[in-house]
Amino acid sequence: MDFNPYLKPWQASQPNNVAGKGQIEVPGQVPNIVWQNRAAVPSDYENALGDALEKVFAGGADTLEQVVAGLNALAFRTAAGEPWTAQTFTAEMARLGA
């Protein structure tokens, strides 16, 4: 399976003051399979964006402006086919991280 169809939308956690209460596994003894943490298989666009970001970060980008400039230098466009801006990049990261 490539994703978890039962994954619930993220909610702010509420701390539990009773140690172990609500645990269904022994911490540290259950593998964290990456596929269980996503609600859908990444699209081709999302995979390409990840590849482009790896190149940009490998090139030394460490600020928002450098990331945006790096994506534009690679000619990697937004899903709408537009050049990246700080605003479009921030909005896209918020959308993908929701």
- Closest to 71 in 3D by CA, of 53, 51, 45: 53
The interaxial angle of helices 64-73 and 44-58, nearest 10 deg, is 110
pLDDT at res. 1: 66
Residue 73 is assigned to a structural domain of this protein: yes
**Considering its fold, how many domains does the chain have in total?**
1
The conformation of residue 82, written as its DSSP 8-state character, comes to P
Residue 28 is assigned to a structural domain of this protein: no
Domain hosting 72: range is 44-97
CB 3, CB 40: distance < 8 Å: yes
Residue 36 is assigned to a structural domain of this protein: no
The conformation of residue 58, written as its DSSP 8-state character, comes to H
Per mean pLDDT, which range of 7-11, 19-23, 54-58, 80-84 is the poorest?
19-23
The interaxial angle of helices 86-97 and 64-73, nearest 10 deg, is 100
> Could you read off the pLDDT of 12-67 as tens digits, one per residue?
666 666 666 655 666 667 666 666 667 788 899 999 999 999 999 999 999 999 99
Residue 60 is assigned to a structural domain of this protein: yes
